[in-house]
Amino acid sequence: MQVLTVDIGTGTQDIYLFRSGLSLENGYKIVAPSPTMLIRRQIQNATRRGEALLLIGVTMGGGPCHWAAEAHLRAGYKVFATPEAACTFNDDLAWVRREMGVEVVSEDEAVKLDHVRHIKLLDFDFDAIARAFIAFEVNLNPQAVAVAVFDHGAAPPDISDRQFRFDYLMARIQSENRLSAFAYRSSDVPSIMTRMQAVVKSAAGLDCPLVVMDTAPAAVLGATLDPRVAARSRVLITNIGNFHTLAFRLGPAGIEGVFEHHTGLIDLPHLEALLQALADGSLTHQEVFDDHGHGALILHPEPLPLTEDDFGTVVTGPRRSMMRGSRLRPHFAVPYGDMMLTGCFGLLASVAEHVQELAGPIRAALAGAGAESAPWDVEG
């Protein structure tokens, strides 16, 4: 049995292939440039050649590809985009036209633009991943696929993106107080989560279940699988991403509290203060929102001491080095020996929750009972 997990970030896309009958350490893994970095490179090549661009495809993660498109326009070259592709930059297409100068065109109009370079936007490209594995004689035939992306959601023009995103986080926690509630079967993805919906559209050709999840909860869930973290009944886990930092306080009843902020707006003392306030229950939504973050939520009033035992907080994410030397004595989570795959392991755990027919072998492997076969005895 195979389960393909793909954690799509700003810098990298982290790919892990679970194979039943093996320990998780023997799973195949690829850490490759993220889709937005690949699109950025394509746009920059077009800028060097002085070519007009047509962006087609679906809504994907922005950041690097957004900045490359802006640079292309500043250089004096045109950018056309279909509505779905243009939503990569902003859900408000009037803003995309007005503030960026992108010419948003219909699908019919796009067909006529055969004189410009076409670039297809998408976060999840199963065929490209399959080709990468085929190069090493591994045939992908997954019984499930799980993909994680960060999704702000499609906020109405008069609603703050930050508030809209945090309202969504609060609603999910209040509906189902568990990290795997941030994962969905493809048919259940909320309509407001446009980037997740785009992943579903990109994966339409799959003949197996698809699970789509938010990146930060996937990483935090994966961090709980680190043995030192799993041994605790209550814990504070921080995912420091390239763009966003999200921390969950977890306990026996589930999620006790959470905050989300922009990584670029905080330094170590600021982050320590936020984590301490989340731990002692004093952090407020308004405090984080007024600081240009997304917000905060405290559900459980009992403070979580961060000065006891062998470590204070747990840290994961590509910018985890921010916490080195912290007074909160961080433990850098390494589930199954690989920090880069923390999100993939969280995705795998969520597949066990959402695809019941695969739960048995996945949970056995997560519990360390998956090493019965040697790697060369497992097909694929």
Tens of pLDDT, residues 147-161:
999 999 999 888 899
In this prediction, residue 301 has a pLDDT band, given cuts at 50, 70 and 90, of confident
Same domain (yes/no): 11, 133: yes
Domain-terminating residue out of 67, 93, 121: 121
Residue 378 forms part of a structural domain: no
**Confidence (pLDDT) at 378:** 52
Same domain (yes/no): 131, 278: no
Cα gap 30→131, rounded to integer Å: 12
Residue 106 forms part of a structural domain: yes
Say if residue 324's pLDDT is above 70. yes
pLDDT digits (tens, 9 = 90+) for 224-271: 999 999 999 999 999 999 999 999 999 999 999 999 999 999 999 999
Instruction: Give me the CATH number covering residue 308.
Output: 3.30.420
Same domain (yes/no): 159, 211: yes
Domain-terminating residue out of 97, 121, 145: 121
Cα 258 from chain centroid?
Answer: 17
Centre a 10 Å sphere on the Cβ of residue 366 and count the other Cβ atoms it contains. 18
pLDDT digits (tens, 9 = 90+) for 105-143: 999 999 999 899 999 999 999 999 999 999 999 999 999
Per the DSSP assignment, residues forming a β-bridge with 31 are: 14
Residue 373 forms part of a structural domain: no
Query: What total number of domains does the chain contain?
Result: 3
**Confidence (pLDDT) at 380:** 55
Residue 325 forms part of a structural domain: yes
DSSP collapsed to 3 states, the chain: CEEEEEEECCCEEEEEEEECCCCHHHCEEEEEECHHHHHHHHHHHHHHHCCCEEEEECCCCCCHHHHHHHHHHHCCCCEEECHHHHCCCCCCHHHHHHHHCCEECCHHHHHCCCCCEEEEECCCCHHHHHHHHHCCCCCCCCCEEEEEECCCCCCCCCCCHHHHHHHHHHHHHHHCCCHHHHEEEHHHCCCCCHHHHHHHHHCCCCCCCEEEEEHHHHHHHHHCCCHHHHCCCCEEEEEECCCEEEEEEEECCEEEEEEEEEHHHCCHHHHHHHHHHHHHCCCCHHHHHHCCCCEEEECCCCCCCCCCCCCCCEEECCCHHHHCCCCCCCEECCHHHCHHHHHHHHHHHHHHHHCHHHHHHHHHHHCCCCCCCCHHHCCC
Mean pLDDT of the residues in the chain: 94
Same domain (yes/no): 171, 23: yes
**Confidence (pLDDT) at 310:** 80
Same domain (yes/no): 171, 241: no
Same domain (yes/no): 29, 130: yes
In this prediction, residue 370 has a pLDDT band, given cuts at 50, 70 and 90, of low
Same domain (yes/no): 7, 141: yes
Domain-terminating residue out of 103, 121, 139: 121
Same domain (yes/no): 200, 345: yes
Residue 23 forms part of a structural domain: yes
**Confidence (pLDDT) at 203:** 96
Name residue, tokens 């393909």: 4
Same domain (yes/no): 166, 27: yes
Residue 224 forms part of a structural domain: no
Same domain (yes/no): 329, 235: yes
Same domain (yes/no): 242, 329: yes
Domain hosting 212: range is: 2-33+126-219+340-366
CB contact set of 86 (below 8 Å; sequence gap of 6+): 55, 93, 96, 102, 104
